[in-house]
Structure 1
Amino acid sequence: MSTLDMTMAAVVGGLFAAGFYLMLQRSLMRIVLGFIVLGHGTNLLLLVAGGPPGRPPVVQGGAGGPGSPEATAEYADPLPQAMALTSIVITFGLTAFLLALAYRSWLISGHDEVRDDVGDRLIGTPRARRAAAEDRDAPEEAR
């Protein structure tokens, strides 16, 4: 593995780590930024998976003719390029949607912080789980 491959692997790993870290935050803008960084990491991963840069996607002929293994070795794989373009479009569409949701939430609540749900906290306590289990196991007339 060359130094360039290791560098690109570290950059892709860093982008994924930063994207996931931002997506785990409470602020909606950080979530959107994390999604954007994650999209860039995905695009870079797909382009790195396409092989070394500089090879044309289609070559006329080759050393042994159009169908020979020597001619196939000169081709660049166009599938990662197509997947990266598709990923760019999907990331752009979802980013626009998430920005619209964040803006709507900011208009309604006046901030972009995601608050805790009190019901989730209540269900999450051991005492509440025991009470729910006792209520579920109690006879119908006792409720």
Structure 2
Amino acid sequence: MSLALSIGVLAAIGVYLVLQRGMIRIILGFVLLTHAINLLIIAAGGVGRREAPFFGEDPASAADALPQAFVLTAIVIAFAITVVMATFAVVGRGDDDTEPRAAHTDAAGQPPSRDASEGADR
């Protein structure tokens, strides 16, 4: 029951963060979603119904290695995708118009006038 609850909580928070505007929040949401999916794969493998691998006398009661191999592969792929997304976030932060930046507002919090921004570009 606690495994299903933790999968649900991780998936819900992950979806919420992916739907946010900030790139860092999207990356963290993606990480939480991958954790939820990895837990789901392990839960689908039936670890709770089986013993540890190579310790039981009955081969039918040994743990299935296929879900564990899938999760190990998924962890590596998720880490690589997370690094790529973080790199894109750093490289493209100048083009990111989803969050307001302090450089684009004056002291009153208003965007600078058109004349002031033209003079700053030259």
CA RMSD of aligned residues (A): 2.3
Residue matched to 1:72: 59
Whole-angstrom distance in 2 between the partners of 1:43 and 1:19: 13
Residue matched to 1:85: 72
Give the gaps of 5 or more residues in structure 2. 101-122
Mean Cα deviation higher: 42-51 or 25-34: 42-51
Report the count of equivalent residues. 99
Residue matched to 2:20: 25
Q: After superposition, give the CA deviation of every residue in 1:25-61 in whole Å (9 maximum; x if it has no partner).
A: 111111000001111111211222232187222357x
Residue matched to 1:38: 33
Q: After superposition, give the CA deviation of every residue in 1:64-108 in whole Å (9 maximum; x if it has no partner).
A: xxxxxxx233211111110110110011000000000111111x2
Whole-angstrom distance in 2 between the partners of 1:76 and 1:84: 14
Q: How does 1:1-143 map to 2 (within 5 A)?
A: 6-50=1-45, 51-52=47-48, 55-59=51-55, 62=57, 71-106=58-93, 108-109=94-95, 113=98
Question: Taking structure 1 as the reference length, what is the TM-score of the superposition?
Answer: 0.61
Mean Cα deviation higher: 51-60 or 74-83: 51-60
Question: Taking structure 2 as the reference length, what is the TM-score of the superposition?
Answer: 0.71
**Structure 1 residue ranges (4+ consecutive) displaced by more than 4 angstroms after TM superposition:** none
Whole-angstrom distance in 2 between the partners of 1:44 and 1:34: 15
